[in-house]
């Protein structure tokens, strides 16, 4: 019998941008999507849900510095794939993503097909 594992991703973006920037992904038994709107919430959700397999995080989060949040995520689980989101991808943001150990940086709003491709690539 074939068994499947539910995979979990955390999508972190400030509240006023969440609805307009999060692509639709069909609900399945194999993917759970958690969300957070502030940097502090990101860490709380991440530590409360050790099953998280992938993190999307906006560069412009409310609360603490996003760079500090990513460093903390990576210190808790250094192999967790982190995708940095930014409305403006610049040399600075690309360098920051690299320095923080992010796997990718993507411009928001995310195209639905890119979102699906990233999910399939890392999950």
In-domain check, residue 114 = yes
Residue 96, domain extent: 25-122
Total-model pTM: 0.88
In-domain check, residue 11 = no
pLDDT digit string (tens) for 23-68? 666 666 688 889 998 888 999 999 999 999 999 999 988 777 899 9
**Residue 112: pLDDT band with limits 50, 70, 90:** confident
For residues 9-32, average pLDDT = 71
Q: What pLDDT score was predicted for residue 5?
A: 79
Closest CA to 56 of 17, 86, 88: 86
In-domain check, residue 4 = no
In-domain check, residue 61 = yes
In-domain check, residue 108 = yes
- The domain total for the chain is 1
Q: What pLDDT score was predicted for residue 110?
A: 85
Q: Residue 92 is part of a domain; what is its CATH number? A: 3.40.50.2300
Q: What pLDDT score was predicted for residue 65?
A: 87
Who's near 119: CB < 8 A, 6+ residues apart? 9, 25, 31, 54
Q: Are 61 and 38 in contact (CB under 8 A)?
A: yes
In-domain check, residue 88 = yes
In-domain check, residue 18 = no
In-domain check, residue 14 = no
pLDDT digit string (tens) for 65-110? 899 999 999 999 999 999 999 988 899 999 999 999 999 999 988 8
Strand order in the sheet with 52-58: 31-36, 7-12, 52-58, 82-86, 104-107
């Amino acid at each position: 019998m074939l068994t499947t594992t539910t995979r979990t991703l955390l999508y972190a973006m400030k509240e006023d941008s969440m609805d307009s920037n999060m692509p639709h992904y069909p609900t399945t038994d194999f993917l759970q999507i958690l969300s957070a709107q502030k940097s502090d919430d990101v860490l709380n959700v991440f530590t409360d849900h050790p099953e998280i397999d992938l993190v999307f995080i906006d560069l412009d989060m409310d609360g603490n510095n996003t760079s500090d949040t990513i460093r903390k995520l990576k210190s808790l689980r250094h192999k967790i794939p982190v995708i940095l989101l930014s409305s403006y991808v610049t040399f600075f943001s690309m360098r920051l993503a690299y320095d923080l150990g992010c796997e990718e940086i993507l411009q928001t709003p995310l195209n639905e097909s890119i979102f699906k491709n990233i999910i399939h690539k890392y999950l």
